[in-house]
Amino acid sequence: MGGLTGTGLAVDFAGLKLRSPTLNASGVLGISAPLLKRVYESGVGAVVTKSLGPVGRPGHINPTVVEVEGGLLNAMGLPNPGVEGYLEELRELKLEGVPVVASFFASTVDEFQSGAKNLCSVGADALELNLSCPNVEGEPGMCAADAVSVERVTWAVKRVTKAPILVKLSPNVTDIASIAVAAERGGADAITAVNTIKAMAIDADFRRPVLANVTGGLSGPAIKSVALRCVWEVAEAVKVPIVGCGGVSTWRDAVEYMLAGASVVEIGTAVMKHGFEVYGKVNDGIAKYLRENRFSSVSEIVGLAHRK
Ligand code: RRO
């Protein structure tokens, strides 16, 4: 990756000093240390792991991913080796000097606390609480649908770690702003907006749902306008910084997210189509936009579209 010095791309974000405002979105590129190292070499400010849970899970049976108009529909089913099973890999990434945001989920407050402690004990630079997977089964369902649960879990995790906490919210709610406010009240250092949109695909020939799980989460350009609106509403409601996520493929998408209130963006589905180069291209495009419009840093454009 070329040098980023003097590009205006460095950001102070939720207590982290990032060399660029792009991150990979959790999930798309998994968790293997060599792969995430390649992502880092492609220009991201930090890498985000696939969400880790309290115990390993194989995930749902196939088909788990299908391409649909404008994006991907997935019901991976939270496959992961479990927090304990991942610590060695995380250690490896830290030895390589890669800033890591560890994404994780759990079903109880105790599990959230022990996951946070374990991940931080081997050097996770920040934690992204995934409260918003659309593919969780059973009761009580998605945590991010309930403001009280979001506040409680965030507060509990904050109590056991000094690492910045990013709370990843769902677009599948009536009022995302009120959920973001609950996360902020719980002590969130940042809000990630948003996870995938619950959706489905049906095969007309087989006359059946395509995904074995029937429903899944939609990502990619198809959801950009919805995710952008979520970022806008969250920005109007909270003071903590925002990670914009959903359908970012180009520098222009990234800049739109920043104008809506995001300090950094996560890019996931676009990597499938454009490869690892997408991070460098988006960074270069943002830097050019800043230069051409006489801004000296990303922070100067965050939330500008809200100006009355
Ligand atoms: O693994 C998944 O099915 C999954 C997760 Br954890 C998530 O947060 N979002 C998503 O679309 N899929």
In the prediction, which pLDDT does 244 show? 98
Q: Ligand 1 pocket check: which of 135, 166, 194 to mutate, most ligand atoms within 8 Å of Cβ?
A: 135
What is the SS3 assignment for 23?
Answer: strand
Question: Each residue of 169-180: pLDDT tens digit?
Answer: 999 999 999 999
Taking the centre of ligand 1 as the mean of its atom positions, its distance from the CA of residue 63, in whole angstroms, is: 14
Ligand 1 centroid to Cα of residue 182, in Å, is 22
Ligand 1 centre distance from Cα of residue 111 (Å): 19
Angstrom CA distances, 208 to 135, 200, 201, 303, stand at 18, 11, 9, 44
Residues in the chain: 308
Query: Mean of the pLDDT values across residues 205-223?
Result: 98
d(CA 210, CA 73): 10
Measure the CA–CA gap between 127 and 142, rounded to whole angstroms.
18
- What band does 74 get if pLDDT is binned at 50, 70 and 90? very high
Instruction: Indicate if ligand 1 lies below 6 Å from the C-beta of 196.
Output: yes
Asked, as a colleague might, if the bond just before 140 is cis with ω within 30 of 0, I would say yes
Q: From residue 67, give the alpha-carbon distance in Å to each of 51, 59, 70.
A: 22, 19, 8
- For residue 65, which phi and psi values (nearest 5 degrees)? -140, 140
Statement: residue 1 has pLDDT above 50:
no
pLDDT at residue 103 greater than cutoff 80? yes
Residue 208's CB is within 10 A of a number of other CB atoms, namely: 11
The CA 77 to ligand 1 mean position distance, Å, reads 6
| pLDDT for residue 70 | 97
Ligand 1 atom index nearest CA of 77? 3
Which atom from ligand 1 is nearest to the alpha carbon of 135? 3
pLDDT at 140: 58
Report which ligand 1 atom has the smallest distance to the Cα of 132.
8
At 24-42, the pLDDT tens digits run 999 988 789 999 999 999 9
The whole-number pLDDT of residue 136 equals: 79
Residue 225 has pLDDT above 70, yes or no: yes
* Residue 53 near ligand 1, beta carbon < 6 Å: no
Ligand 1 binding pocket includes 99 (Cβ within 6 Å)? no
User: Is pLDDT above 60 for 92?
Assistant: yes
User: Could you tell me which residue, 7 or 4, shows the higher pLDDT?
Assistant: 7
Q: Which atom, in ligand 1's list, is nearest to the CA of 64?
A: 3
The predicted structure's pLDDT at residue 138: 65
Is the CB of 51 within 6 Å of ligand 1? yes
**Residue 190: per-residue pLDDT:** 98
Please check whether residue 125 is in contact with residue 46, taking contact to mean a CB–CB distance below 8 angstroms.
yes
In the three-class reduction of DSSP (H, G, I as helix; E, B as strand; rest coil), residue 242 is classed as: strand
CB 90 within 8 A of CB 122: yes
| CB distance 199 to ligand 1 below 6 Å | no
Q: Is 297 exposed, middle or buried (0-12, 13-18, 19+ CB in 10 A)?
A: middle
For 87-126, give one letter per residue: b (16+ CB within 10 A) or e.
bebbebbbeeebbbbbbbbbeeeebbbbbbebbbebbbbb
pLDDT at 7: 85
Residue 105 Cα: closest atom of ligand 1? 6
Asked if 98 and 36 touch (Cβ cutoff 8 Å), the reply is yes
State the CB neighbour count (10 A cutoff) for residue 3: 7
Q: Which residue has the tokens 């995710």?
A: 227
Q: Hey, which residues are catalytic here?
A: 133
- Kindly report, residue by residue over 248-275, the tens digit of the pLDDT: 999 999 999 999 999 999 999 999 999 9
Judge whether 27 and 76 are in contact, CB under 8 Å. yes
pLDDT for 28 equals 84
E strands, 170-234, are 190-193, 197-200, 202-203, 208-209, 215-219
pLDDT exceeds cutoff 50 at 2: no
Residue 103: CB within 6 Å of ligand 1? Answer: no
Q: How far is the CA of 156 from the centre of ligand 1 (A)?
A: 23
248 and 270 in contact (C-beta within 8 Å)?
yes
Whether the Cβ atoms of residue 53 and residue 106 lie closer than 8 Å to each other: yes
Q: What is the residue with the minimal CA distance to atom 9 of ligand 1?
A: 133
